[in-house]
Structure 1
Amino acid sequence: MNGEASRCPALAAGDPDLTDPATYRDADYFAQWRRARREHPVVRLDSPRFGAFWSVTAHAAAREVLERPESFTSTRGMRLGGEAGAVSAASGGMLVVSDGPAHARLRSAHAPWFAGRAVARLKDTLRSRLDAKLAELADGTPVDVVARLSRSLPTWLVCGMLGVPEEDWEELAALAAAAFDETETSTAAARRAASAGVFAYFAELLDRRRPDPGDDLVSALLQQSGADRLTDEEILLNCDGLVNGGLGTTRHAVSGAVLAFAAHPREWRRLRADPRSVPTAVEEILRWASPPLHMMRTATEDVRLGDALIRAGERVVLWIPSCNRDESVFAEPDAFRIDRRPNPHLSLGGGPHYCIGASLARLELRTLLEALLTHVARIEFDGTLVRTPSTFLHGLDRLEVTLMPAAAVPGSPGGE
């Protein structure tokens, strides 16, 4: 295929629209991605919702885009559907829409709070909360883990790290969810209002923390000094980014973990038999669940990607769940295997924009699995599963399972 020919859509008639949120509720989009990887891994599409963009479904091409910020910039938006005015205002001041020296400066300001030692100190509190929650949920009756667990876990950690008072956690989580709500009942105006609400909340928190700093990320950013210190506007932008990233993708990773083991009971038995597999199981959850649905970049120059010729200014969309099931990279890509090695998934991005909260995400999942091993003998799927209608996040709105208590099973890690 030559560069000009590959600029034309090559999807089969009747394929679901990958830019329609409803597609991710019912359609077999994984089959569409499998065919795309085989027939047109990099192809230019024209969406009725978002206009023209390049669709990338293959792992190698997606990794190349992520690792070449000089050719594929984040500064013009990192997702389809972002409002141009908001992206322009945040560009250079918010981690996810910055590149080069601006990105390095912002990342450096946040990095100490996401280093291994700083994250590790959160583990005890998280484990205590998980133990209490799972002692309540693992009673042998059906439970919606999205409503009862996966929405809570990232809220505990992210809001705690940002210094958000516990009485405000639910309000802030609801605002963050509404800002990315793509259901039919949501409107652009409602999403803008929710996003403005997140900014207003943190503006007020900054005013409270300035004279009375605490042991939290917001206070630390406010107290920085020197030429590289962040402005109030930059702090607000990045608080918004951390809330959206931390509460969105991690929520879907938690419910994805439970679904993975409910759908693959043999892997749960293997993990119980050998808890040392928890670290590799965490990576497999991130690959198999793939919480980010897509990442977007914009070409800064005419550039070839595979057989495609991409022109400067054109958008490039990487479908992460497809890349994470690329047959050329992952053996038996649709299978969930807790001992998969190597596992070069792209759920945490790549290149300079590799997720700054990666250690936090891994801590959450690792602690979750360790707590589940203590409290749960079996995870039984009850047949109720509702996927999230979103073009940006890949996950579940509802998942009913029965968590059989470990205490009822002789010889379990949870005791007799």
Structure 2
Amino acid sequence: MTVDAIADDAVADPARLTDPAAHAGDEMYALWRWMRRNAPVHWHEPGEYPGFWSVTRYADVRRVYLDHTTFSSARGVMLRPTTAGADPGSGLTLALTDPPRHTGIRALVSDVFAGRQVRTFERNIRRTARALLDTARERQSCDFVHDVAAHLTVVVIGTLLGIPESDHDDVLRWTNEAFTAGRSLATHHELMRYVVELIDRSVAAPGDDVVGRLVSGTVDGAPLSDVEILFNCENIIGAAENSGLSIAAGMLAFAEHPAQWALLARHPDQVPSAVNEVLRWTSSATHSLRTATAPMSLGDRVIAPGDRVVLWLPSANRDEETFVAPDEFRVTRRPNRHLSFGAGAHGCIGAALARIQHAVFLSELLDAGLRVEPAGPVVSVASIVVRGPARLPVRVVPAGSAPGD
């Protein structure tokens, strides 16, 4: 269904933004486009969720991201039902603090996301991708989300947190259980118990990984508390899960646009551009929240101190004022200043690693002369937090084969 095919009365209902089922498809793009034109900064009355402003235009979303003084992350970065109360990680984690404390925590782990560690990351992803593709070719079909993307994700988690390869299957099972049940990772007792044990081992012998940096480092001259370390680890695992979802959504995009895969196969030097377009197109993080600390005009509305401001990233990444033909998937798109990783002080610390993860997998698929084609109905995630396929049955086949061969 195209954006224009949806009736106006279905489009002009901003209340649908908080309906998870409405996000399991493409209809939200029509609503976001309507809002960009008619209600780019829109107030939602309190109900299931606290009252909040929806921000849908690229320029406004970027402005909020860049002004961390006026738009704070410390009180939460995701919409939570009123009954859930405040985010328990508020003020404790990299995502849920503001500078200068955010800057101090970020400095502890930034080296893990760069330099020598990146080479280790790339080597592990490439080895895993080759093995997964070999297995997928041998089978008639597979669920790309669970059989491929999830395995790539656990390699990312293991590289970042120093999880031994022998424990990857357990971590994969626990994160899949939490994802399938729609639960926070922090509520999965076995996973959290394992992370606590990982932290305890690192206290005794800190490694050159995120956990080692968190347990041995200091911010403002003091070590992080055990709770801070645990919540930061949980946040990083969750972010890696989101990257895996983006890879799966990218494969779906190429399966639905075979001409773009053929173009990329002819011009593999365009992989970096293709990765950026996948990130823009999929926008796997659906929204980000900030809380105003001072009066601020945004568009023609006045934001009051204490107001929640929700940034809808898929909308910003399809803004006609910023992107030419935004509803077209173009692997050679330039410029492509998408906001999938945010911007400013809270720009995603793992952005470079996520791009490498995408690029390595695409390159391995291209080098092997393969492509992915649908092999059954796609089931989308029903969530206001993340977007992408929950199930993606595919076949991995030679690039030159006819569909269905």
**What TM-score does the superposition give when structure 1 sets the normalisation length?**
0.87
Partner of 2:269: 276
Task: Confirm whether residue 98 of structure 1 aligns to residue 97 of structure 2.
Answer: yes
Whether the 8 Å contact between 1:59 and 1:323 is mirrored in structure 2 is yes
Mapped partners of 2:10, 2:370: distance in 1:
44
Mapped partners of 1:361, 1:329: distance in 2:
23
Partner of 2:44: 45
1:352 maps to amino acid:
A
Shift of 1:361: 0.4
Whether the 8 Å contact between 1:93 and 1:106 is mirrored in structure 2 is no
Whether the 8 Å contact between 2:54 and 2:311 is mirrored in structure 1 is yes
Partner of 1:290: 283
Taking a change above 3 Å as real, the CA distance of residues 197 and 377 of structure 1, as seen in their structure-2 partners, is: closer
Whether the 8 Å contact between 2:378 and 2:391 is mirrored in structure 1 is yes
Task: Confirm whether residue 241 of structure 1 aligns to residue 240 of structure 2.
Answer: no
Whether the 8 Å contact between 1:58 and 1:323 is mirrored in structure 2 is yes
Shift of 1:265: 1.0
Taking a change above 3 Å as real, the CA distance of residues 108 and 192 of structure 1, as seen in their structure-2 partners, is: closer
Partner of 2:34: 35
Equivalent residues in 2 for 1:387-398, closer than 5 Å: 387-398=380-391
Mapped partners of 1:336, 1:234: distance in 2:
40
2:127 maps to amino acid:
S
Mapped partners of 1:398, 1:319: distance in 2:
24
Query: Which of 332, 343, 361 pairs up with 2:354?
Result: 361
Partner of 1:56: 55
Partner of 2:256: 263
Task: Confirm whether residue 203 of structure 1 aligns to residue 196 of structure 2.
Answer: yes
Mapped partners of 1:222, 1:114: distance in 2:
17
Cα deviation digits, residues 217-241 of structure 1 (max 9, x gap): 2123333368254333322221111
Listed as ranges, the gaps of 5+ residues in structure 2 are: 1-8
Taking a change above 3 Å as real, the CA distance of residues 124 and 13 of structure 1, as seen in their structure-2 partners, is: closer
Taking a change above 3 Å as real, the CA distance of residues 12 and 301 of structure 1, as seen in their structure-2 partners, is: same
1:240 maps to amino acid:
E
Which stretch shifts more, 206-215 or 341-350? 206-215
Equivalent residues in 2 for 1:333-344, closer than 5 Å: 333-344=326-337
Taking a change above 3 Å as real, the CA distance of residues 15 and 40 of structure 1, as seen in their structure-2 partners, is: closer
Which stretch shifts more, 195-204 or 360-369? 195-204
Give the 3-state SS of the residue equivalent to 2:130 in structure 1.
helix
Shift of 1:86: 5.7
Identity value in percent: 38
Partner of 2:168: 169
Partner of 2:3: none
Mapped partners of 1:13, 1:355: distance in 2:
32
1:65 maps to amino acid:
V
Query: Which of 216, 219, 222 pairs up with 2:212?
Result: 219
2:232 maps to amino acid:
N
Shift of 1:202: 1.7
Task: Confirm whether residue 159 of structure 1 aligns to residue 158 of structure 2.
Answer: yes
Mapped partners of 1:404, 1:192: distance in 2:
35
Partner of 1:141: 140
Whether the 8 Å contact between 2:93 and 2:231 is mirrored in structure 1 is yes
1:54 maps to amino acid:
W
2:75 maps to amino acid:
R
Task: Confirm whether residue 321 of structure 1 aligns to residue 344 of structure 2.
Answer: no
Shift of 1:353: 0.2
Mapped partners of 2:316, 2:12: distance in 1:
23
Mapped partners of 1:376, 1:28: distance in 2:
34
Give the 3-state SS of the residue equivalent to 1:78 in structure 2.
coil
Taking a change above 3 Å as real, the CA distance of residues 47 and 256 of structure 1, as seen in their structure-2 partners, is: farther
Instruction: Report the count of equivalent residues.
Output: 391
Mapped partners of 2:52, 2:13: distance in 1:
20
1:295 maps to amino acid:
S
Whether the 8 Å contact between 2:255 and 2:372 is mirrored in structure 1 is yes
Whether the 8 Å contact between 1:140 and 1:405 is mirrored in structure 2 is no
Give the 3-state SS of the residue equivalent to 1:210 in structure 2.
helix
Taking a change above 3 Å as real, the CA distance of residues 350 and 293 of structure 1, as seen in their structure-2 partners, is: same
Listed as ranges, the gaps of 5+ residues in structure 1 are: 1-9, 410-416
**What TM-score does the superposition give when structure 2 sets the normalisation length?**
0.89
Taking a change above 3 Å as real, the CA distance of residues 351 and 13 of structure 1, as seen in their structure-2 partners, is: closer
- Tell me how large the CA RMSD over aligned residues is: 2.5
2:70 maps to amino acid:
S
Task: Confirm whether residue 402 of structure 1 aligns to residue 395 of structure 2.
Answer: yes
Shift of 1:169: 2.9
Which stretch shifts more, 385-394 or 373-382? 373-382
Mapped partners of 1:338, 1:146: distance in 2:
22
2:233 maps to amino acid:
C
